[in-house]
Structures are given as C-alpha cells and as structure tokens.
Structure 1
Amino acid sequence: MGKLVLTTFLTLDGVYQAPGGPSEDTRDGFDQGGWSVPYGDEDFVRFVTGVFDRAGAFLLGRVTYDIFAAHWPRVTDPDDPIAARLNGLPKYVASTTLTDPGWAGTTVLGGDLAAEVAALKERTDGELQIHGSGALARSLLARDLVDTVHLLTFPVVLGAGRRLFPEGAVPTAFRHTGGQVTGAGVSVQSYDLAGRPEYGSYQLPENT
C-alpha cells in the first residue's frame, strides 16, 4: 500500500498561497505571489528532487493542477527529474467542474473523495504525492488520510493569504521524522501523522 505524502511551502505565518509567482493564485485579492522564489538554492532543489524521486502518482487540487498543467508539459528536457515524473506518472485531480483535462495521464476524481483517495493509496506503487493543493490538503488532513507531511517553511511573513492550518482545523499530532535548514534559511521538516494531541500542564501542584 502506498503512502499519501504532502509537500507544502509555507510562510512563517502559515500562508501557502502562490509561492511560485505573482499570477499563480490571486484569489481574495492576494498580491504577494512568488515569495518562495528568492530562497530556491541548491539545498532546496536537492530536497524537492528527492521527494519527486519517490513518487508513484500525484494527487492535486484544481488550482494547483491548473498551475502545473500550464507549466510542466512545456518542460520537455528528459533529464529534468521533476518534469519527467509529473509528465509521465499518473495524475489525479480532485474537481467537480473539470471535465476534459488536457494534460496526458490525468484522471478526474469527482465522487467520494475519502473513498477514492483510500483506493488510490491501495493501488499506488510508491508514494501518492500531494504538492501544494492547500484546500485539498486541509480536507485530507481533516480525514486523517495523510501519512507524511514535508513542511518547507520560508523565513518571510506576509500577513495575508490562505493558510494551511486555519482556525477550526482538526486537532492533530505529528511525529518528527527528520529535518534540515537550507543555506538560504528554509526550514525543511518531515512529520508522520500520529493521531490526536496529548495534553499536560506545567502548573505546580497546590501545597497541602
């Protein structure tokens, strides 16, 4: 059975929206797109390439799918490890409105998302990977369907934008499995889902 692995880029204040360019995702009037680009050094590229090396299939939300579909089919270098996998491996997009995807190898998931994703995990050889796709990621995290999370946190605060863990997110505990900080200062941390949080107290006991 494959694992469902989420890789997401976040700001220090938890924003995931439009890391790759000003026009990538301007919903809600967001005008700070492209905030991850200045930090894309060799350490960053090496980690992301390593993630893609483990992919067996991709699961994407509609916004991220449209961004990827407009870019990666135009990258035809067979030695580009990310383009080769995105263009060559199966892609699944969660959407109730997309009917005729133009990117080869794409299947639209429009039914019971939890059941369809669970079935995909069963039949994927290698990792079923989510990249970006914040709304989809939030939905799957809330259903405990994500096995591993790679959080790449960039040293920037935006003060606006869509957040991966908004108010009302399902309380969730994670187990840290590894991490590094890139030369440009991006904190790359990996976590496995560990169930619900546990709670304690630092309060001193009352004197008796």
Structure 2
Amino acid sequence: MAATLVVSAFLTLDGIMQAPGGPEEDREGGFEHGGWSVPYFDQSMGEIMDEQFGTFDALLLGRKTYEIFAAHWPQVTDENDPVAVKLNAMPKYVASRTLDKVEWHNSHLLQGDVAEAVAELKRTTDGVIATQGSADLITTLQRHDLVDTYRLLVEPVVLGTGKRLFAEGTVPAALRLTRTERTGTGAVYCVYDRAGKPGYGSFALDDYEEKMREIRGEGPTG
C-alpha cells in the first residue's frame, strides 16, 4: 500500500502559481495579479480539470487554500458539477499550525510535523493524493522529496513576481514528461513523473564534439 502524491497547479510561463483564481485569493507579499488564470479557462481546460479530479482519491491542502475551498465548494450543490461533487465528498487532509479543527465534510487535520505526517499518509493509504494551490505546503513537500508527479497547466502569461512552484530550496530532481495537451486558449497541460536525480555533463569543446558524434550515431574517432 502506497499512495502517489500529485501536485496539480496552474502555472505562468515564469513559474508563478500564486492566486490564479481571483484578486483576493492570496495577496501575500503585495501580490497584485490575482486571477491571472481566469482568461485562459475554456471548455478544453474544464475537461482536463474534470478528468483530473476524476482520478483523485484525496486532497492535501494548506490552511489558506483549505479556507478558500471550504468557504466556496460546499455552496456549490449542482449534482452535474463533477468537480464540486468530488471535492465535497472526498477525504481532505489539511496541514496547518493554527487551525484546531476543520469542519468541511470529510476533512482531517494533520497532526505534528507536516512532512512526517504526509510521508505516513502516503505509506498507509493508496490511490492518488493531490494538492491544489497550497504553495507553501508544496515547498515543504518538495524539500522532503515527497512529490511523485506534477500535473501542470502552463498558461501563456508572465508576471515577474509571486510565489513560484519551484522555490529556493527545492530538492534537485529529474522529471520525465508523460503527457502534453494544448488547450484552446494556448495553455499547455504537462504531466511529469519523478525520474530520480538530475544528470550532468559538459559542452566544453572535446565533450561537445563527442556528444555530437553520439547524437549522429557515429563511433569514436582515433
């Protein structure tokens, strides 16, 4: 038994994930670009989101995202909205140092050290545990090498400031691209699985020439 931890995020071309859904979502650091993702949401992106949520077995949230979701999604009672139905029903695990209870249906407050609690959750459950938003929590997960897969909707916009998906201190890792899909507004859905440690090389002159011969399928010279 072992769960897969998926980071699901809306992302700008320069790696910003802060407040994609609205101006008041997260103004931390004086962020003034909240809602940047909304113009790129179309039917094809909606279909990707519906598909994604159909694969999630549980949700892992930081406090801020939990409070935003808990204030919104219980009010969405349309039985034909697959995302709302799934969110309101599925188990939700919340990482917070300040909350002492969580009241949204099927929500559970993680106890103790967050990284240890999430590692234990992965060991003792199965299926897919996914994050939404929760930039600070994701940074903690990355620093403890707990992320297995990234599902990213990369949108054609650059902001220059804000919380980044890969913040300072992220553990170096190689990733393997397993899927790409373009939406009608020019966003690109990319799925990356963890693929071990980064590899390294050199493009110094001798190394470069050897690499080019390898690419061309030529044998060594001399």
Range into which the TM-score falls when normalised by the shorter chain: over 0.9
Partner of 1:24: 25
SS for the counterpart of 1:63 is helix
Please state how far the C-alpha of 1:56 moved relative to its aligned partner.
Answer: 0.9
Partner of 1:199: 200
Deviation digits for residues 73-98 of structure 1, max 9, x if unmatched? 11011221111111101100000111
**1:1-208, aligned counterparts within 5 Å?**
1-205=2-206
Which has the larger share of helix?
Answer: 2
Question: How many residues matched?
Answer: 207
Please state how far the C-alpha of 1:195 moved relative to its aligned partner.
Answer: 2.0
Larger radius of gyration: 2
Q: 1:198 and 1:125 mapped to 2: Cα distance? A: 30
Sequence identity (%): 52
When the two chains are superposed, the root-mean-square deviation of aligned CA atoms in Å is 1.6
SS for the counterpart of 1:170 is coil
Please state how far the C-alpha of 1:128 moved relative to its aligned partner.
Answer: 0.7
TM-score normalised per structure 2: 0.88
Deviation digits for residues 109-163 of structure 1, max 9, x if unmatched? 1312223212222343421111121111111122111111111111111121111
TM-score normalised per structure 1: 0.94
Structure 1 pair 20/178, CA: closer, same or farther in 2 (3 Å)? Answer: same
Q: 1:41 and 1:74 mapped to 2: Cα distance? A: 22
Contact 2:145 2:171 in 1 (8 A): no
Partner amino acid for 2:183?
A: T
SS for the counterpart of 1:153 is strand
Moved more, 73-82 or 109-118: 109-118
Partner amino acid for 1:143?
A: H
Q: 1:127 and 1:170 mapped to 2: Cα distance? A: 22
SS for the counterpart of 1:4 is strand
Q: 2:204 and 2:28 mapped to 1: Cα distance? A: 44
